[in-house]
Amino acid sequence: MFKEYSYIAVDLGAESGRVTLGTIHAGKLNLLECHRFANAPVQENGSLKWDFQKLFAEVKAGIAKAVETSRGRIAGIGIDSWGVDYGLLDADGRLIEKPYHYRDKRTNGLMQKAFELMPKEDIYTETGTQFMQINTLYQLLAAQTAGSAALAEAKNLVFIADLVAYYLCGRIFSEYTLASTSQLMNMQTGRWCEGIFDKLRLPMRIMPEIVTPPTIVGHIKSDLARQFRCKSFPVIASASHDTACAVAAVPAETGQWAYLSSGTWSLMGLELSKPVINNKSFKYEFTNEGGVAGTIRFLKNIMGLWLVQECRRQWQKQGESLSYQQLTLMVANARPFLYTIDPDADDFLAPGDMPAKINKYLVRNNQKKIVDKGQMIRIILESLAFKYRRVLERLEETAGRSIDVLHIIGGGVKNELLCRFTANATGKKVVAGPIEAATIGNIIMQAIATGRIKSLTQGRNIIHNSFELKQYVPENVGTWTSEYQKIKW
């Protein structure tokens, strides 16, 4: 397996992280997971934060295992993570405080404050970004409004994946795909929005240079190379946003296709050549984010399997530990189309007792509380599938194209019931896979950066030949359509 040099992909998710070794040989990509670890927020003085030092220690442990496994034959390393969250560095390059978690309550009400300083339409015209209170824009505004000492002291703001890269190689930068999720970058120019920083009185001085992917940004520091017992190797800004990496891994061939990156969050969209910023995209709250190879990810963020994860976590706290396989069996025995919820309702954003939150939502919307766990999970999965249909219809309408195939990538591929529900609800053929899409896209982009793969098209062909894909053909479309038309949210 290791006759050729391998690449290390560090994929950081909001629930877990993984360090994977990828080797491209004979037109196929082979993966070997070297280290997987839990990633969860911590409470600190009433705030929700990330323990970055612990996170980086896990990353280093994974790199050490990958280097040992490959016998030091490493061609590069790339890091991808969720968007919007950041760390603040002082003048000496030290992390001032633990980075805030995007679900922290400090951004409550900050969107309205922003709109008082700059009209909502003007912000969207500049950024083309979906309005979500988790965005970096509102996090920065929250810090500024609270008179944050850390913000006042900060020399640089660095997003999470790029913060890991900085710790590895010492270069401060902001990778394009990750920067584009902040609602602080102009999607037409690829530069920071001076108007937004000026009108909201935010410190543009702390924003680093924006780097386009894939770019070699440095090499592993000598002291780290000694720790890993290897020669220094390139640190590559492959595409620092996990969804950008995941979309790069879509094994699409021809035709009109859309993607659904399914995990804690669901991100559904199209790969376009230029941003779509108009009245309709504003009305439907679509976002334009940077993609790889000069593309734009025109998409919608949807509250994904977070709802299931939080239900499972709550039941575990109550002493009932249920596997996802057990929950799937329970769902199969539950009544179809009993109730629906809007997965994107504000009720479900913060962590906590999700079953109680869902029941509170149901009662408020003239439905009844659910006691049966399988029934609750079925309601979540059906509601997600209906939400996917709505977003898909609006994508077709806004972009002016008909979609034939929906590619589902990411961890949600393992939820075969949701894949099947999605095909039924949308009436589209679903192609599911690969699962570790962010990791795969990360490695493909590294290989492009180092010249071992010539193009994204070649990379996607390699992916198509390397991983098993499963197809779902729509069934009972008439019944699903009838139930969809009853939805009031």
Catalytic residues: 242
Check: CB of residue 462 under 8 Å from CB of residue 24.
yes
The CB-side HSE value for 7 (13 A sphere, CA atoms) comes to 34
Check: CB of residue 54 under 8 Å from CB of residue 125.
no
Instruction: Measure the CA–CA gap between 122 and 451, rounded to whole angstroms.
Output: 41
45 contact partners, CB below 8 Å, separation of at least 6: none
Instruction: Measure the CA–CA gap between 181 and 317, rounded to whole angstroms.
Output: 33
467 contact partners, CB below 8 Å, separation of at least 6: 29, 251, 433, 434, 440
Instruction: Measure the CA–CA gap between 460 and 330, rounded to whole angstroms.
Output: 37
| Cβ burial 469-478 (10 Å sphere, 16+ → b, else e) | eeebebeeee
Q: Per the structure block, which two tokens stand in for 396?
A: 């077709």
The CB-side HSE value for 311 (13 A sphere, CA atoms) comes to 25
Instruction: Measure the CA–CA gap between 230 and 6, rounded to whole angstroms.
Output: 13
Check: CB of residue 430 under 8 Å from CB of residue 419.
yes
